[in-house]
Structure 1
């Protein structure tokens, strides 16, 4: 599940599918159009021996696996608004920094004209990446918390300061503002299968959202902002690989850390506090700068999940949305309602990690 505004899932190039990710046929994925294949062949200089098959997809994004001769690529078709040129440049800079810090990711590849983003026939946009055989990481694996903590520390240590979005705008409110109470009325009263569960969760929304607030601009660095289990995968040899950098932008490191802790170690009915402690301690040992000290550090977690939930409810209830988009939204609503943190869980995590754990301890 991605908390992105457009709902696109990871650009991961999975061979083994995660149970949380529907196979292409389940979400109505189609064959690549001849026009799309022809455009890609022309742009990237491929020969006639190109074979294109459907890979993972999200609400507004599709990955196509491309085989041409001995080479394999991941062609990402973007249905929504594409990343800006400034965003692409920021992504390339951040991934170079991250690679230098030992973080692995699929390489972003330009076309023959040097473009990293090109228009697709009939609308949409295309990006190309190196294909990497990836598989899901087991959150319950013994080494997972320590590996994740070390990975996030490396990302934060190499990140530059960043007080505005890549295009120069103010930090995206998606990460620090929750929807107004009235924004939920249509969805809660819709009669959809999930509407009653939504209404039940909304009863605790004021308590959950009480501490959500913008971060101090002076504390912001460039962050990935979407490091959930579908975007951190195991590559050949088992090392962690980070994918889907499309959401990068300014965030407080403590807030991204808090979000990652819950993304990985709270899948209902409550948080795995021992795993959270181990990930947090590994992050501190590896020199990560973030420290969870108060309720506001959960702002990014809460705001992004609530904003994502509202967007997906809108897609699910939109009679003009494509059936495949509505089906994907229904799945994401079900998952988000299950994973939406309870205020008690945040308090438990804060009691465990806040203040007294500023110095790393051995697991």
Structure 2
């Protein structure tokens, strides 16, 4: 893509440079665009998006804008010149955001600051309309299931996967904890991806929430439990400090039972399952190494039933 074409697509003035990719995820990569008006993060999807996927991104972008307008510390979503937030440049779908200098992902952030910020985020009430009024996606509440887990283990053993023994050892506990998964009840628009990759410290020591592209309907209590798990680090004191700060800031979520950890379990399991199947289907050493790193992270930091019980006990004193 040409730098000026990207700048024109978002009305950002005269472009001076567009970098090579500086970061990548599973579905896209980020480049840094420099223009006369400043620096911007340009996110480009690896594959062309469907009409439905573009509609989902537009809905998520509207929520992101509402959070920005409410004063949530985040990168500003840039409006596309022809409306919305998704622009098409040389048949590629792109989004643009103000550039923010960030530290590396870190789960050791101040838990009280994290709790207060998530409470402020949950106080942004966005209309449940259009794509935001759709059912909760299975990624956030459905189990993988015993049959599928055993099938992946069998395929991994047949392929000589280096993680097969570790997966076999952990499998009974993975299947056990999925019994707590239940459908969500009280819904509002939530971020849905508040892991350490997307809630980071900035270079000026503040906090910043990134990547709203997965935003959608969810129970804020379950998003809260997920954040308590991620940034509590299994330390009950940290977990309680985060939870108390969230409540003191007026956050609407409450963690009172095992089922409130459902979204954290479901997401971790779907992420892990995705890496496992990607390792099995990888066609080159680079893709296989990237998938293996994801598998090892999943197997090394699971959320199991005893962890859930300790978390619920911690936040309830």
* TM superposition score normalised by structure 1: 0.77
Equivalent in the alignment of 1:147: 113
Kindly indicate whether residue 9 of structure 2 is the aligned counterpart of residue 43 of structure 1: yes
Kindly indicate whether residue 71 of structure 2 is the aligned counterpart of residue 109 of structure 1: no
Superposed displacement of residue 36, structure 1: 5.5
Equivalent in the alignment of 1:128: 96
* TM superposition score normalised by structure 2: 0.88
Cα deviation 1:14-60 (Å, max 9, x = unaligned): xxxxxxxxxxxxxxxxxxxxx45575255346646324232111122
**1:244 corresponds to which of 211, 214, 233:** 211
Equivalent in the alignment of 2:225: 258
SS in 1 for 2:33: strand
Equivalent in the alignment of 2:256: 293
Greater fraction of residues in helix: 2
Superposed displacement of residue 353, structure 1: 1.9
Equivalent in the alignment of 1:193: 162
Q: Distance in 1 between matches of 2:9 and 2:249?
A: 42
Equivalent in the alignment of 1:361: none
Inter-CA distance 81–298: structure 2 relative to 1 (3 Å threshold): farther
Equivalent in the alignment of 2:191: 224
Cα deviation 1:279-315 (Å, max 9, x = unaligned): 0000011111111111110110111111111111111
Cα deviation 1:211-257 (Å, max 9, x = unaligned): 101011xx111100111111011225322110000111111111001
Q: Distance in 2 between matches of 1:81 and 1:214?
A: 32
Superposed displacement of residue 87, structure 1: 2.7
Structure 2, unmatched stretches of 5+, are none
Cα deviation 1:152-181 (Å, max 9, x = unaligned): 11111222464x872643211111111122
Cα deviation 1:260-287 (Å, max 9, x = unaligned): 1112233xxxx11110010000001111
SS in 2 for 1:222: strand
Q: Distance in 2 between matches of 1:49 and 1:95?
A: 27
Equivalent in the alignment of 1:334: 296
Inter-CA distance 52–274: structure 2 relative to 1 (3 Å threshold): same
**1:234 corresponds to which of 201, 221, 233:** 201
Larger relative contact order (Cα-Cα within 8 Å, sequence gap ≥ 6): 1
Equivalent in the alignment of 1:73: 40
Inter-CA distance 165–276: structure 2 relative to 1 (3 Å threshold): farther
SS in 1 for 2:32: strand
Superposed displacement of residue 184, structure 1: 2.4
Inter-CA distance 192–351: structure 2 relative to 1 (3 Å threshold): same
